[in-house]
Amino acid sequence: MEAEIAAHATGDPMMNQLIIGLVTDACSLMIQRVIRSARERTRRASRKVDVLDALRWDDRAFTPSIALLAGIPQLDADAVTVRSALVARRTRTVFSQVAACALLSEYESRRDELGKLLKAALSAEGLEIPESTAQILLDILYQLTQLALQNVTSSPHSAAVAEQTARTVLLQATLESIAADVAILSRNHERDSESDREWEERYRAQCVRRHGIIIPPDNNKRTPVPLDEIYVPGRIATSMRATETLTVYDLAPDLDRHVILGDPGGGKSTATNALAHKIASEETDRLPFVVILRDFAAVMHEESIAGYIQRTVASRYETSAPPDGLIERILRHGKAVVLLDGLDELLDPTKRGVMAEKVELFSNNYPSAAVLITSRRVGYIEAQLDPTVFRAFELSAYTDEDVAAYVAKWFSLNASGLQLAPGTVVADVVQAFLEESQSISDLRSNPLLLALLCIIYRGQNYLPRNRVGIYEKCTELLFETWDRSRGLVYDFAFDSHIDAALKHLAFWMFTNDEGGEGVTEEQLVAEIGSFFANQAYETEEKAAEAAKAFIGFCKGRAWVLTETGLSPEDEPLFTFAHRTFLEFYAAAQVTRKYPEPEKLALQLVKRVSRSEWDTVGQLAIQLINRSVEKGAERAISKMIRSATAVNRTLEYKSNTLSFVARCLQDLPPAPALLRLGFIHLTALVDDMFASNGSVAVWHQLEYSLALVYRQDVTGESILLSEMRDYVGASPTSDKTKYRAKLFVAKSCLRNRQTSEDEEKIFRDAFIDSWSDKEWLEFDSLRFAYFLNIIDLPEIVAKSLAVGARPLDPWLVDLAASESPYHGGYYSMASSVILLDRIGSERIARTHSTSGRRWFGSLANEIGEWLRDSAASPLASARVVDAQELLFSIDAPDEPEFELSPGQATAALVFACAFVEMIGSRLDDLVAAFSVPTIITSASAALKRGQWNSSHFDQVEESPVKERLRAWAEGRQQFVDAENRSHVLGDRVR
């Protein structure tokens, strides 16, 4: 549409189309900022419809005026110069300022200033135009912007729009930046543009060099490696989107106000480095500026972030100092991407809060600069950046695909150090590593630990089989071998006490610095001095002298102690560089203090019952199993007996048994222990259902049962027998007991390839007698379908036999049917409707190869069944709260998965059913929520009396397609017209 209008206007069609695109981009940026702010505010206020309804903006509804385009003045320059000047970041900043003025009704008061900025922006790119021409062009840009925003600013909810735009911090900051930009313009009227460009190019080249390498942790060498040869970009987790489609690199083009949250060693700093390299090497109009917040914290009370960049950029990148005022101009003209790394490294919450405030002020002062901050996930909430301004993403752990990619790169780079057997190639080593590390997938999913695992494997051609062995090798690698490989020798009188001193220090820091803020050097010396006085020296003077030397020794090794900030008295604070190693040494000390399994158990149960010491406790159990025969079995048995004693709370029992389940996965199989754990877990499930336990307990038990059940690998089917006895122990007339049985069966069998015996147990307990109950539930049928125990026709037959409709099992919301603990609404039909958004070819291939069913195969089967079905109606009314369901839908805007005809058929029929259920409320909901396009298409078809949908075009000519046509014409209904929901009623809910 825009191209056709641009072509029919007088003047240059290419220029017209370019201006239309730039206006659209500017409006989109400003609207997104308003929406981000409004969504957070309405979320806090629990408002769902009216305010968000007012803020929906569709750039496709923008119809530019031919008359306005015809009035764009001819610019006296060649097309290349004109295009270059218009798309420059500085010019785009003016477009954004115009859009902000349009939304805030401030254009007339800012018109003269904007004219000066537009003329200066074009002039800076070699396009000289008179002030009068600049003013004419500006007025046309404003009028085009008004047209683009018309459906928002002139909607029935214009008052709500005005309220939200006025409260959007970044919109106000963009408006205020106009005067600041004009002031800078007047101060720097005569700049040496050539010097500015030369510095920018030199700096860009140094950025490419500095950020284009990475130094992997390696005990044999510290050789810089080109980033692209080793780096596997981390994936960004966003709701309802397949994580394999979005990496940190995908954030680069649209960076505005973003936060990346991740775990220690999760690749946050490497992601910052990679983004800086990508922007510097692939973009010509933006420059990255990396600020290590730990370093900036030392001067943050005396210096601004912009001033810090100006002062340090030359020394950091070994380049000349930037010309006076250049950094300020780059920040103001939209040319800067500021990457602020390590908010979490300021361990003092007060300092984090001060830093967060400075970042917010910097963001407001430079609204055209893109700003990204990294922080650990844990603790971010204590100094959270304003969520109405900053959008947070989570840096996900490495997937198996990421691990495979990194391992292949790592071993290829280190091929010369591999001990290859005859006929073995690097690919064989990679495959062997991947197979051996599968059991510790949670460890290898951390980029830092994955690198260490690769080093360990290269040295001995195998990996230790449990976590203790892994941690031992990692600490040895990073502490002892690292020093030896560099010739770092030490000759201390306390040499034989180093290992014990480290364990003592770790346990002391773990129990006395649980907040992770760090401890002072004076405290470290005092504690180790006390240890040496008891263990190695008779005099306090000698012990104190040795303690100072030992702490200095630890401080000099980056993998032991690291400085993390300053105390309120400005003393340096220290902590272990990586919590993994702190926890390993602390666990070792716990077993030194309590070498008897039963005594260790009593110490651990005090902590794990409160959800404390999880990793330390698991490692301690593994260590006691090494030093004492059946040490783990004795300790865990004691913990279970203690946890299940009289008067223990449900949470106390659940926390302890969940800890036991996690311990079992890293221990050799112990049949008696597995049986004991499983029996107590099922007893706890009974307690949970009888007492209406919390959501946390529900999820804990679900996870714990699955963990324990999977440990039964002896071939004796011990837990299969226990599960059979449990699920068949009582009649189905007891609803509470029935749900408990179903919960246990689902927890054990979910996400696994079931055996014939397991399938028979499930069918006997839940399927064959399904219609005999006094109430109705569909969850057992759904679960059995995905286990391949029952087929779709049988589900349809069972539904019809009890008075339900064929599609009811997939429409009924799980909040009502699955459990009283499910906190939100969710219907499997919603996954079918969203399939083109949330499905992926990779998922489809994986399930096709394994023969497992998923939402895609369900949709296809339903579509195939519908094709020739004459059943009518297809669904009961009000089996799902359709409005609440729409509240929970959050789907990507664009389709990513191509539907089959059968899948398209199922999606359309479910969409039609939703439209019927929602009725007249749909128009209000469509404006307020991210309603899937397929639902809006169905609604439009019903209004027009005919379909105009790509999904409908995919449906093959068949009876169901005729029924869809009849539905659009009002001659067919898919939902029970007689409102048969009473047939389900209490039986479902």
Q: What is the pLDDT of residues 462-516, one digit of tens each?
A: 888 777 888 888 777 766 554 554 455 555 666 677 788 889 999 998 888 755 6
Question: Taking 50 as the threshold, does the pLDDT of residue 902 lie above it?
Answer: yes
For the stretch 590-614, pLDDT in tens is: 999 999 999 999 999 999 998 889 8
In the chain, count H helices and then E strands: 53, 11
Report pLDDT for 8: 42
Per-residue confidence (pLDDT) for residue 932, from 0 to 100: 64
Q: How many CB atoms lie within 10 A of CB 50?
A: 13
For 791, the 3-state DSSP assignment is: coil
Higher pLDDT pick, 969 / 574 = 969
- Retrieve residue 371's tokens: 């700003």
683 CB contacts (<8 Å, ≥6 apart)? 644
Give the confidence band of 882 by pLDDT, cuts at 50, 70, 90. Answer: low
Residue 154 has pLDDT above 80, yes or no: no
Q: What is the pLDDT of residue 386?
A: 84
Condensed to tens digits (0 to 9), the pLDDT of residues 525-564 reads: 899 889 888 887 888 888 888 888 888 777 655 457 766 6
pLDDT in tens, 274-300: 999 999 998 888 999 999 888 888 888
Kindly state the average pLDDT of the residues 729-733: 67
Residue 319: phi, psi to the nearest 5? Answer: -135, 175
Tokens for 580, please give them: 């993994």
- For residue 163, pLDDT over 80 is answered with no
For residues 664-671, give the mean pLDDT: 84
- Rounded to whole angstroms, the Cα distance separating 141 from 458 reads 62
Q: In this model, does residue 979 exceed pLDDT 60? A: no
For helices 735-749 and 671-691, the axis angle rounded to 10 degrees is 140
Which of 435-471 are b and which e, b meaning 16 or more Cβ less than 10 Å from the residue's Cβ? ebbeebeebbbbbbbbbbbbbbbbeeeebbebbbbbb
Residue 219 has pLDDT above 80, yes or no: no
For 529-532, the CB contacts below 8 A with 24+ separation are 531/500, 531/501, 531/504, 531/505, 532/494, 532/497, 532/501
Return the sign of the alpha-carbon dihedral for residues 154, 155, 159, 163. Answer: negative
Give yes or no for residue 59 having a pLDDT over 60. no
Q: Which of 45-59, 601-615, 712-726 has the lowest mean pLDDT?
A: 45-59
User: What three-state secondary structure class fits 207?
Assistant: helix
pLDDT band for position 675 (cuts 50, 70, 90): very high
> Residue 939 pLDDT > 80, yes or no?
yes
At 887, is the pLDDT very low, low, confident or very high (cuts 50, 70, 90)?
low
Tokens coding 511 = 């129990």
Lowest-confidence range among 41-45, 263-267, 754-758? Answer: 41-45
Q: Is the pLDDT of residue 961 over 80?
A: yes
The reported pLDDT for the residue numbered 66 is: 66
User: Rounded to two decimals, what is the model's pTM?
Assistant: 0.62
pLDDT tier, 819 (very low <50, low <70, confident <90, very high otherwise): very low
Question: How high is the pLDDT of residue 987?
Answer: 39
Label residue 915 exposed, middle or buried (CB < 10 Å: 0-12, 13-18, 19+). Answer: buried
pLDDT digits (tens, 9 = 90+) for 618-646: 999 999 999 999 999 999 999 999 988 88
Average pLDDT over residues 937-946: 89
- Cβ neighbors of 758 (< 8 A, separation 6 or more) are 720, 749
pLDDT of residue 989: 35
Sequence-separated (6 or more) residues with CB below 8 Å from residue 374: 259, 260, 261, 262, 268, 269, 271, 272, 339, 340, 341, 342, 343
388 close to 41: Cβ distance less than 8 angstroms: yes
Q: What per-residue confidence (pLDDT) applies to 619?
A: 93
User: With 80 as the cut, is the pLDDT of residue 394 above it?
Assistant: yes
Question: What is the three-class DSSP state of 932?
Answer: coil
Task: Report the alpha-carbon distance of residue 656 to residue 676 in Å, rounded.
Answer: 13
Mean pLDDT for all residues in the chain: 81
Bigger pLDDT: 188 vs 976: 976
Residue 419 has what DSSP assignment?
A: -
Q: What is the pLDDT of residue 508?
A: 92
What value does the mean pLDDT take over residues 147-160? 67
| pLDDT, average across residues 322-331 | 89
Please provide the DSSP assignment of 217-286 as one string.
--SS----EEHHHH--PPBEE-TTS-GGG-BHHHHGGG-SEEEEEE-TTSSHHHHHHHHHHHHHHH-SS-
pLDDT score of 659:
94
Buried b (16+ CB within 10 A) or exposed e, 682-712: bebbbebbeeebeeebbebbbebbbbbbebb
CB atoms within 10 A of CB 920: 6
Of the chain, the percentage scoring pLDDT greater than 90 comes to 26
Q: Rounded to an integer, what distance in angstroms lies between the CA atom of residue 191 and that of residue 200? A: 14
Does the structure show a pLDDT above 80 at 896? no
pLDDT band, residue 906 (cuts 50/70/90): very high
Report the pLDDT value the prediction gives residue 981, as an integer from 0 to 100.
43
* Per-residue confidence (pLDDT) for residue 893, from 0 to 100: 54
Whether the predicted pLDDT of 48 surpasses 60: no
What are 822-835's pLDDT values in tens digits?
A: 334 457 888 888 88
- Residue 312 to residue 327: CA distance in whole angstroms: 11
Residue 2 has pLDDT above 50, yes or no: no
* pLDDT greater than 70 at residue 217: no
pLDDT score recorded for residue 231: 92
Q: Using the predicted structure, report yes or no on whether residue 660 has a pLDDT greater than 90.
A: yes
Which residues partner with 576 through β-bridges?
Answer: 561
- pLDDT at 855 > cutoff 70: yes
The amino acid occupying position 548 is: K
Q: Are strands 257-262 and 370-376 parallel, antiparallel or unpaired?
A: parallel
CA 916 to chain centre: 35
In the predicted structure, residue 241 carries a pLDDT above the cut 50: no
**Residue length, the chain?**
989
**Beta-carbon contacts of residue 4 (< 8 Å; ≥ 6 apart):** none
Q: Which two tokens stand for residue 485?
A: 């490989």
Cα distance between residue 375 and residue 346, in whole Å: 10
Contact (Cβ atoms closer than 8 angstroms) between residue 276 and residue 290: yes
Q: What percentage of the chain carries pLDDT values higher than 70?
A: 82
Look at residue 243 and tell me whether its pLDDT is greater than 60: no
End-to-end CA distance of the chain: 50
pLDDT of residue 480: 57
CB 117 within 8 A of CB 71: no
Dihedral sign from CA coordinates of 451, 452, 453, 457: positive
Please tell me the predicted confidence (pLDDT) of residue 237: 73
Cα–Cα dist 801/797, whole Å: 6
Most confident of 23-27, 70-74, 804-808: 804-808
| DSSP notation for 676-729 | HHHHHHHHHHHHHHHHT--HHHHHHHHHHHHHHHHT--SSS-HHHHHHHHHHTS
Segment holding 391, helix H or strand E: strand 391-395
Q: Given pLDDT bands bounded at 50, 70 and 90, which one contains residue 10? A: very low
Given a cut of 80, whether residue 173 has pLDDT beyond it is yes
Hey, what are 223's tokens?
Answer: 């050789």
Q: What integer pLDDT is reported at residue 843 of this predicted model?
A: 79
Does the pLDDT value for residue 79 go beyond 70? yes
**Choice between 684 and 666, residue whose per-residue pLDDT is larger:** 684
Sign of the four-CA dihedral 612, 615, 621, 627: negative
pLDDT value at 224 more than 60: yes
User: Are 472 and 463 within 8 A, CB to CB?
Assistant: no
